[in-house]
Chains A and B, each alone.
Chain A
Amino acid sequence: MLLDAVPFQDTIGLAAQLIRRAMPAMVLIPLGAAMLSPILAARSPRAARFFGGGALLLNFFLSLLVSNLVWWQGPIHYHFGGWAPPIGIEYSVDAVGAMMAPLVAFFALLSFASASRLEKEWTPSHGGAFQALYLLLSAGLMGIVVTGDLFNLYVFLEISSLSTYALVAAGEDRAKVAAFRYLIIGSVAATFWVFGLGYLYALTGTLNMADMAERLPAVIGSRAAVAGLAFIVAGLAIKMALFPLHGWQPDAYTYAPPGAMPFISAIMAKVSAYALFRVLYDVFLKAGPAGEALELLGWVAALSILAGSVLALGQRDIRRMLAYSSVAQIGYVLLGFSIGNAFAVTGALLHMVNHAVMKSCCFAALGAFRAKTGRADVDGVAGLAKEMPWTAAAFTIAALGIIGIPPLCGFFSKYYLIRGAVQASAWPFVAVFGVSSVLGTVYFFRIIESLYLRSADQGAKREIAPLSVIAPALLLAGLVLALGVFSQDVVGNFVPIIVGAGGPS
């Protein structure tokens, strides 16, 4: 009766209001869960796992609601403590944020199940800590996506980085060395960001992105503004692991706990790329054309694509190879941003989604291979297709997707990117995409050959990989196909088409 009394329109309006108010909870839920879960874990690790999983599930639903509301009613802004933006801290989710937020929440949720399952066996002593760090990482990454404040973004960047250092260190073997190296390089990156921000703050007197975009045109020509941008881009380039600033990534990807890898490999670099997108497109390009800077970035991206692909060729360890492949693939995203027309930017954003799914699928499948044989090198997976046909098929589909075989999703982001490059007459970049795909074929088919054509090493350890480890790989492989076949729906409903962003077209 009560519901009948309220007209339908008002119910919708009320729900929209609720979602607007609840938007910051996208960060607060995992943050709170991170605090609580070690306490719970001390009593019952099982309860803590369910609690963490529940929090991430809730977060995923919330992010979907927020994302839908943004598509329906436009950007959502939330002012902390009721303080209006230039003074207070603002959270804002626009179309691109509405794409990223569910992506982050989805991968956090997806690999949580397999992560806690794998880590329970491998690091029993600090199971609770592992979950806390994992939740903290998702809070940090989500924070980067939703914040509209550049300094707040720095805080979240650090939250996510610090929790990743600790997560990597929880791995086996040389993990601690890798984590320490990552810590040093990551701190340099963070410092760069603060440096750059300092310049910009000194020039404009604001930290809010929208506000800064308004104030920048007056000072855009100054050297301080250029230096500020340069520092920020350099800092993010380290976080994105662009060549030649990628040094930390292969080690970190290799020694990090395998359960966390589907999440880390899918989202970490993408969120940094997203931050770069915000700085470039929401702050600097709104202030004025930055053709030269973009073109320079384009060449950096091209170099990263080629170098990452070439370095991936020589790796025997599949995790390391995938890490170098990521160096190349994140270059695709940056190259799309720098070409800058509607097709290229759409392709770059679409590739953020697609690559997250494909690379995460590779790591999820690899985690299952590893759970079975204890090895993660090319020879270690020999002949596994016979014993694990589904997981091997999932890996193969993801690999073919990254190479860019239609109708898998990687093909379509490549299509948009090349379409953008052709439109901009950027022929060297067109060639770079082609060369990278050929190199991708070489390094991925080594593994596919090993999986399918070689016979298994009889003496190796053989255990049954748990379903919770295999299931995400299968789900993601299905997504690789679905996102490809329905790529137009993805582009129409999920990936915004950013038109007229300027750039050297």
Chain B
Amino acid sequence: MNDTRPLWAVLVSLAAVGPILLSDKRPNLREAWSFIAAALKFGFVVSLLPAVLAGGTPECKLLDLAPGIALHLRADPAGMVFALLASTLWIVTTLYSIGYMRGGKSPHQTAYFASFAVCVSSAIGIAFAANPLTFLLFFELLTVATYPLVVHNRSEEAVRGGRKYLAYTFIAAQCLLVAVVWSTFLVPGATFQAGGFLAASGATPAQLRILLLLFMIGIGVKAAIMPLHGWLPAAMVAPTPVSALLHAVAVVKAGAFGCVRVLVFIFGPSLLREIGMDWLIASVAAATIVGGSLRALGEDNLKRRLAYSTVSQLSYIVLGAALGSPAAIAGAIFHIAAHGFMKITLFFCAGSIYTRTHYTEIAQLAGLGKRMPITMGAFTLAALGLAGTPLLAGFVSKWNLALGAIHSGNEVFVAILVLSAFLNFAYFFPIVYTAFFEGDKGETVRFDETHVAVWLPPALTAVAALALGMFPDFFWSFYTLAWTAAKAATGLG
């Protein structure tokens, strides 16, 4: 059965690139194209949801990429989580970008919106890719499309950040290419399969270990697993909406999602345990969780602190996928969505603060809570969520991850999760405290938010994070999708 909706979901934003570029001189028309494409994309993705929830996998095969390997798109539960996240956040980010970019009179906006559209297309392509080669195609398209965003300011620093980004991602790309080619050689024509397809390949454990390392290096750079994370803080020179996109919507999430694909859908939990790599990957992830949080503690620049927080949080996803018990995998997949909503809120807030005050350091935020209550309120909600406070989205994923760690017999990782929660509080609490409880008492403070297009998006995403914490299946059915994928991968479903 050929259901072309996954294809349309990918193509609609790609098709918007042309009109966006041609409307260079007319910003209103240009942004209208972005909104139309975003709305259509969201429509296509959401229209797939009932079929996927009913246990179907709408898919379409297009032209062949290589002998026996088609450009193959398929909406499975795990992919749906990522696609829903990306297409939802694209709408909010577009709204935010308009407010932010016009407010700051940022140059090169056309290139920004065009690259953004390509990035979102690639993200959906990555979500729906049904075989490694299709995945690789969109993954590298994303790499290239992100570059103009990183160097957006055209400043010396931006160019340096761009070079660092290219160096990391293109070296990784070669590892990924070899890994993909190797996997298609071992199992010709294989598609992603819950529980993995490499078990029957006949390759020796040593070969599989090397293959896994190649995959993890190739994808881990985008997922910012330590020590492959160096490009991410350097990319912080980009404007805030770009950082939001990098951190929450497309780029790093594509990396984290890719890790899930590799660990759960190419190798599979049982093969991973068989070749003895589950423990290694989980340990590296755990080290990244703690290491990222410690680095975040040491940063005084708001965006850089958030960047290291991302490094840390992404490895929750990798950890869950590596542990391989049903609850761990479900927690990992749910965290893709949960972290997306919470982290994008934080970056939106950072950008909102910047457009109003041009503050970038945490110490400067004193008293800001009264001036910008909506922004700082949203910030507080999201920060609490990331730390794992009950009733917020982050708690759901961490609860499942902890359960999963116990089920898989690796109780030590529960300790890591608890430690990380403390560290999260440690680096978020000072920001909230400074904003609300410091500053001159006598000063009359008045309400001083920015444009509605700037403060509304973080408010919306913060509310969504709250809703997801109380009703994990709220609107998008993230929780059901995550558990469906996890059960299929572990043979429970």
Which chain A residues have a beta carbon within 8 Å of chain B's beta carbons? Answer: 400, 403-407, 411-412, 414-416, 418-419, 422-423, 430, 433-435, 437-438, 441, 445, 449, 452-453, 485-489, 491
Contact = CB atoms under 8 A, between A and B. Distances in A.
A488 B65 contact: yes
Nearest to A343: B67
A35 to B, nearest CB: 46
A430 B178 contact: yes
Given A407-B137, A418-B181, A438 B159 contact: no
Contacts of A400: 144
A405 B177 CA distance: 10
Nearest to B151: A453
A406 B174 contact: no
Interface residues of B, number: 30
B140 A415 contact: no
16 contacts: A405-B140, A405-B141, A405-B144, A407-B65, A411-B140, A412-B66, A415-B66, A416-B66, A419-B66, A422-B182, A435-B174, A452-B148, A453-B154, A453-B162, A488-B63, A489-B63
Contacts of A415: 66, 133, 177, 181
A277 to B, nearest CB: 21
Contacts of B148: 452
A400, A414, A441 pick with most chain B CB within 10 angstroms: A441
B137, B159, B171, B181 pick with most chain A CB within 10 angstroms: B181
Nearest to A417: B181
Contacts, number: 71
A437 B181 contact: no
B178 A445 contact: no
B166 interface: yes
Interface of B: 63-67, 133, 136-137, 140-141, 143-144, 148, 151, 154, 159, 162-163, 166, 170-171, 173-175, 177-178, 181-182, 184-185
Contacts of A486: 63
Contacts of A449: 151, 159, 162
A488 B62 CA distance: 12
A52 B151 CA distance: 47
Given A422-B185, A453-B154, A453-B159, A434 B178 contact: yes
A434 B174 contact: yes
A486 B151 CA distance: 32
Nearest to B21: A389
B380 to A, nearest CB: 38
Given A406-B137, A419-B185, A453-B154, A487 B177 contact: no
Contacts of A438: 170-171, 174
B181 A422 contact: yes
Nearest to B64: A488
Nearest to A435: B174
B166 A441 contact: yes
B63 A418 contact: no
Given A400-B144, A415-B181, A423-B185, 11 more contacts: A404-B177, A406-B140, A406-B141, A412-B65, A438-B174, A449-B159, A452-B148, A488-B63, A488-B64, A488-B65, A489-B63
A418 B182 CA distance: 9
Interface of B is mostly: helix
Contacts of A414: 177
Contacts of A452: 148
A204 B230 CA distance: 63
A400 B154 CA distance: 20
B182 to A, nearest CB: 5
Contacts of B159: 449, 453
Nearest to B184: A419
Nearest to A485: B63
B399 to A, nearest CB: 39
Contacts of A412: 65-66
Interface of A is mostly: helix
B174 A437 contact: yes
Contacts of B144: 400, 405
Nearest to B141: A406
What 7 pairs between A and B have smallest CB-CB spacing? A434-B174, A488-B64, A406-B137, A441-B170, A418-B181, A422-B185, A419-B181
Nearest to B111: A452
A485 B154 CA distance: 32
A104 to B, nearest CB: 27
Nearest to B183: A422
Contacts of B137: 406-407
A441 B175 CA distance: 15
B140 A445 contact: no
B263 to A, nearest CB: 22
A13 to B, nearest CB: 34
Nearest to A449: B159
Contacts of B67: 488, 491
Nearest to A454: B154
A445 B166 contact: yes
Contacts of B136: 406
A502 B298 CA distance: 60
A414 B141 CA distance: 16
A434 B175 contact: yes
Nearest to A407: B137
B144, B162, B173, B174 pick with most chain A CB within 10 angstroms: B174
Nearest to B144: A405
Contacts of A485: 63
A282 B143 CA distance: 42
A418 to B, nearest CB: 5
Contacts of A441: 166, 170
Nearest to B139: A406
A54 B177 CA distance: 44
Nearest to A455: B154
A418 B185 CA distance: 10
Contacts of B185: 419, 422-423
A432 to B, nearest CB: 11
A199 B136 CA distance: 50
A412 B177 CA distance: 11
Contacts of B151: 449, 453
A433 to B, nearest CB: 8
A437 B151 CA distance: 22
Contacts of B64: 488
A489 B166 CA distance: 32
Contacts of A433: 174
A445 B66 CA distance: 28
A487 B140 CA distance: 18
B129 to A, nearest CB: 12
Nearest to A346: B67
Nearest to A446: B163
A488 B66 CA distance: 6
A127 B63 CA distance: 47
B107 to A, nearest CB: 12
Contact of B170 (A406, A411, A423, A437): A437
A417 B1 CA distance: 33
Given A438-B170, A441-B170, A449-B159, A422 B141 contact: no
A382 to B, nearest CB: 12
A438 B182 CA distance: 19
A435 B178 CA distance: 12
Nearest to B62: A485
A482 B92 CA distance: 34
B166 A418 contact: no
A434 B177 contact: yes
A190 to B, nearest CB: 38
A352 to B, nearest CB: 18
A489 B140 CA distance: 22
B260 to A, nearest CB: 22
A234 to B, nearest CB: 32
A435 B67 CA distance: 25
Contacts of B182: 422
